[in-house]
Structure 1
Amino acid sequence: MATISGSHVKRITQVNRALPVEFLAQSKVIRWRSADGLEIEGLLTLPFNYQSEKKYPLLLMIHGGPPGVFQQNFIGGVNPISPYFIATSASHDYAILRCNVRGSTGYGENFRTAICYDLGGKDFDDLMAGVDHIIDIGIADPERLGIMGWSFGGYLTAWSLSQTDRFKAASVGAGISDFVSFAGTTDCTEFMPLYCGGEFWDKLSIYHTRSPICHVNKFSTPTLIQHGEKDVRVPIGQAHQLYHALKQRNVRLSAPLFPMPAM
């Protein structure tokens, strides 16, 4: 509780009293320019015992949606749009970058709809520019980069692996790998026509060209595939397809399945 002037603050709850904030890593809002000059915002969580003279491994975390959004909130739990343990990672000396790329909520209608008909386009550029920025300001070691995401974030993770080999490891969580089979099996039947400009029988080219499965010959990054067996939004077949394709490519893999819906 605070006075209107903000000159006096009084604590009236005991929520998370056993976890003092000094035991959590610092997170801060950062901004950078994407490839086309547009300003992109995100959150950078520094390693718990951060030292400015050191360079750290960087984890790039991608939210679901697409219209999810990372916010400045408690990092000690699990966020539904990106169910990864941020505070735990920071305590193990990782820096964590969470990007609100084009398609995210909270930046206006034009920003949110900017990826329609361009999935894996400018949103991917926003991600890579964010990673470049953290390297350029001396925090991230370019030889120790990881990438992870869930749901649509899983899609962007898989897509990124088809476009670059800069990451040393990846986690694809409940990700879309094949737009055509996804369109015919998801419970969210309006998703693909909205973002691809029509049904797959009318827009087959974009369904194919923006599906990670169609670029699996470019994958080389060791990959962890995670998926819930009862997921109705992104059905388990998406994980099966990616797993079998990468196995044929002899990509280093791990693929645990969970007997519950994905988050």
Structure 2
Amino acid sequence: MTPTEQKAPPQGLVIDDLSKIRKAGTPLLSPDDRFLAYHVAVADYDADERYDLIMVTPADQTAPVTIARGIAHGWSPDGRELLYETANGELHIYTVSTAASRLLTRRSESAYFINHLALNNCIWSPDGQSIAFVGADVPEAPEPAVRVIDDLLYKSKGGRGRPIYADRAQTHIYRIPAAGGAPEPLTSGPFNEHSTTWSPDGRYIAFVSNRTDRPDDIQQSEIWKVDIHSKAITPLSDHRGLAYQPAWSPKGGHIAFLATPGQTGTNDSPAEDTHIALIPADGGQMRYLTKSLDRRIEHLRWHPSGKYIYFTAGDRGDTSVYRVSIENNHIETVQGGKGCISEFCLTAQGEDMVFIKSNTHFPPELFRTKNKGAVVEPVTQENAAWLSTKALQPADPFWFESFDGMQVQGWLMKPVAFDPSRKHPLILVIHGGPHNMFGHDFDERFHLLSQAGYAVVYINPRGSHGYGQAFSKGTLMNWGGGDYQDLMAGVDYILAQNPWLDADNLGVTGQSYGGYMTNWIVTQTTRFKAAVTDGGLSNLVSFSGTSLYHSLMESEFGGRAYDRFDLLWKWSPLRHVVRVTTPTLLLHGETDNEVPFTQAEEMYIALRKKGVDTMLVQYTGEGHGWRPELGPRNKADLNQRMIAWLNKYLTL
């Protein structure tokens, strides 16, 4: 074989591949199991936008049909029609037999941010005659020359196509005939309602609302119901905490919902793990069903019999489907294994399901079970063709003992061009939250870094969910304390176990809370030769007064920020910036109200004045993080800059 005929070395994920990734999501089986609707998230680099395609396919998995761009809300009770919404808020109904859609109405959303688990959902009535939706009356008004602020949650999330400031609109529940007509308001007043579920008899809609005397300050919410005829509203729960995503039982006797206890809540990243709570449909004593699992619960679904509730929970890097008996609280795993199941729906009889799963090797795809879960088959293979040409490294899990004996989990991914005879640089990647969880999920950053020649280590330090409530609370009053020591102990362990890693050739990066921790790390040690902070915090004192999530500081540090300034400053990277020598790149969205751009500016100015090699990159009009509002081109630019910065200071 001549040199020109030699086979090219295998290639992992490169920047151009980001435009090829298609992520399946939101499976919706029709009530008769004949049809399946789902989404495919697409990154359109030519238009520099992201959008979801709504797909409908017969359950036998013949060729799917793309019906629109937008989100699917649900099937009619007879399974003949699908309610969906386009990006401009238009609600349409798609008829399967004619493959045609008709416009129902247009709804508006308030820019007021409630919390990440609040659902602005649209639901069919049990008889299929009407549709309830959550909407807001948003007046068309020009940008004011003078903005008068007299509430606390006056900022929105920001980002592409989103306003920077919240409006004064309230979110309420409306009902409209499915055949068309004028929407009828079912609720009103100075409150926000969201996350609706219809009673099986069609008489009531249950919902979530924060009706405390200071809803912009006190993060507590309860379950309520409205009579669709009299419009009388009745409180159902009284647990003094946060309630999310109620679901009425099939026979109407109960309402299940996700809940957290506690007097100090937050609209973002609570340390308290959500659990399934159950109340009688007429209100009364609440009881928790899933406390024995000691994991964070999401995505609850009733079994058609009403005897079980199915749900997902993260556990040591995997996310599986479980079910709990409402009679005796017995919990069992229904669908698990290595990987992360993010969403699912049950078949009409409840014996099988369709679910979304991802792994370190593939983005989210659709799967379905048969024969009561005995057989699992792929439904979509959106990424199979291009992934077949790639050489993606696996991520190998490991456990280590931290400074205080705590057992902590992490993963190591080798570089694509791994050579055991030579030393390889290592990049520590840190997750956000702080209560997120790394695991067997597809993360583009890991594979981009692996292809660029780096080994990647990622760890779930204390504060991460998936290891029990005590572990989730590991950051309280202690950001940058035990979690920092966990990360350093994990790096020490993996270096000791793998002599092919170069201990003198380390980099660190993270996003959001991971960005905070990156900033913190460079103030605590000089062992890293380069750092990249993506949307990170630097000053917890100023963050507590400028972030959309000012309640996060109160929740994490046990009280009002003005009573905790000394503690907040103690754990602020900016306080210790005099120690920094590590070259640091700061990447940040211009309209980020979750972690305001000023957090990057404060760190940048301090590093620049100190003479540290640093650069600040602002993404115009972008909000926070790796969410859809970050345009595909900007996301590619962000990744290119991350790799280029590491390449500048580390030896490959």
Q: Are 1:119 and 2:479 counterparts?
A: yes
Question: Residues 198-240 of structure 1, C-alpha deviation per residue, up to 9 Å, x if partnerless?
Answer: 2232122211111000001001100000110100100011011
Q: Which moved more, 1:190-199 or 1:205-214?
A: 190-199
- Tell me the equivalent position of 2:461: 101
Q: Pick the aligned partner of 2:396 from 28, 34, 43.
A: 28
SS of the residue corresponding to residue 546 of structure 2 reads: coil
Going from structure 1 to structure 2, the CA distance change for 1:257 and 1:113 (only over 3 Å counts) comes to same
- Tell me the equivalent position of 2:354: none
Amino acid at match of 2:483: D
Question: Residues 136-163 of structure 1, C-alpha deviation per residue, up to 9 Å, x if partnerless?
Answer: 0124211110000111110001001111
Q: Are 1:53 and 2:415 counterparts?
A: no
- Tell me the equivalent position of 1:262: 624
SS of the residue corresponding to residue 165 of structure 1 reads: coil
Q: Note if contact 1:56-1:94 (Cα within 8 Å) is conserved in structure 2.
A: yes
- Tell me the equivalent position of 1:92: 452
Q: Which moved more, 1:159-168 or 1:48-57?
A: 48-57
Question: What is the rounded CA distance, in whole Å, between the counterparts of 1:200 and 1:30 in structure 2?
Answer: 38
Q: Which moved more, 1:59-68 or 1:8-17?
A: 8-17
How many residues are aligned here? 255
What RMSD, in angstroms, separates the aligned Cα atoms of the two structures? 2.0
- Tell me the equivalent position of 1:200: 561
Q: Pick the aligned partner of 1:16 from 383, 386, 400.
A: 383
**Structure holding more strand per residue:** 2
- Tell me the equivalent position of 1:81: none
In structure 2, list runs of 5 or more residues that go unmatched. 1-367, 626-652
Q: Pick the aligned partner of 1:222 from 565, 583, 607.
A: 583
Going from structure 1 to structure 2, the CA distance change for 1:193 and 1:5 (only over 3 Å counts) comes to closer
Going from structure 1 to structure 2, the CA distance change for 1:11 and 1:204 (only over 3 Å counts) comes to closer
SS of the residue corresponding to residue 40 of structure 1 reads: strand
Amino acid at match of 2:506: L
Amino acid at match of 1:242: M
Bigger relative contact order, structure 1 or 2 (CA pairs below 8 A, ≥6 apart): 1
SS of the residue corresponding to residue 462 of structure 2 reads: coil
Amino acid at match of 1:166: R
Question: Residues 35-75 of structure 1, C-alpha deviation per residue, up to 9 Å, x if partnerless?
Answer: 11111112211111323333310010001101111121224
Going from structure 1 to structure 2, the CA distance change for 1:226 and 1:8 (only over 3 Å counts) comes to same
Q: Note if contact 1:70-1:99 (Cα within 8 Å) is conserved in structure 2.
A: yes
Question: What is the rounded CA distance, in whole Å, between the counterparts of 1:219 and 1:142 in structure 2?
Answer: 19
**Structure holding more helix per residue:** 1
How far is the alpha carbon of 1:22 from its aligned partner?
5.8
Q: Note if contact 1:43-1:72 (Cα within 8 Å) is conserved in structure 2.
A: no
Structure 1 segment 171-250 matched on structure 2, within 5 A: 171-250=532-611
How far is the alpha carbon of 1:29 from its aligned partner?
1.3
Amino acid at match of 1:128: M
**Percent identity of equivalent pairs:** 37
Q: Note if contact 1:64-1:154 (Cα within 8 Å) is conserved in structure 2.
A: yes
How far is the alpha carbon of 1:255 from its aligned partner?
0.9
- Tell me the equivalent position of 1:82: none
- Tell me the equivalent position of 1:64: 432
SS of the residue corresponding to residue 190 of structure 1 reads: helix
How far is the alpha carbon of 1:5 from its aligned partner?
11
Question: What is the rounded CA distance, in whole Å, between the counterparts of 1:134 and 1:233 in structure 2?
Answer: 33
How far is the alpha carbon of 1:15 from its aligned partner?
2.6
Q: Which moved more, 1:252-261 or 1:21-30?
A: 21-30
Q: Pick the aligned partner of 1:144 from 505, 528, 536.
A: 505
SS of the residue corresponding to residue 113 of structure 1 reads: helix
Going from structure 1 to structure 2, the CA distance change for 1:95 and 1:6 (only over 3 Å counts) comes to farther
The structure having more radius of gyration, on CA atoms, is 2
SS of the residue corresponding to residue 244 of structure 1 reads: helix
Question: What is the rounded CA distance, in whole Å, between the counterparts of 1:174 and 1:12 in structure 2?
Answer: 36
Amino acid at match of 1:102: R
- Tell me the equivalent position of 2:13: none
- Tell me the equivalent position of 1:43: 411
How far is the alpha carbon of 1:6 from its aligned partner?
10
SS of the residue corresponding to residue 201 of structure 1 reads: helix
Question: What is the rounded CA distance, in whole Å, between the counterparts of 2:537 and 2:493 in structure 1?
Answer: 27
SS of the residue corresponding to residue 23 of structure 1 reads: coil
Question: What is the rounded CA distance, in whole Å, between the counterparts of 2:489 and 2:372 in structure 1?
Answer: 39
Question: What is the rounded CA distance, in whole Å, between the counterparts of 1:200 and 1:117 in structure 2?
Answer: 12
SS of the residue corresponding to residue 149 of structure 1 reads: strand
Amino acid at match of 1:38: M
Going from structure 1 to structure 2, the CA distance change for 1:112 and 1:90 (only over 3 Å counts) comes to same
What's the TM-score, normalizing by structure 2? 0.38
Question: Residues 9-29 of structure 1, C-alpha deviation per residue, up to 9 Å, x if partnerless?
Answer: 765532311212862112121
SS of the residue corresponding to residue 57 of structure 1 reads: strand
In structure 1, list runs of 5 or more residues that go unmatched. 78-84
How far is the alpha carbon of 1:8 from its aligned partner?
7.7
Question: What is the rounded CA distance, in whole Å, between the counterparts of 2:414 and 2:487 in structure 1?
Answer: 18
Q: Which moved more, 1:154-163 or 1:12-21?
A: 12-21
SS of the residue corresponding to residue 441 of structure 2 reads: coil
- Tell me the equivalent position of 2:519: 158
Q: Are 1:252 and 2:613 counterparts?
A: yes
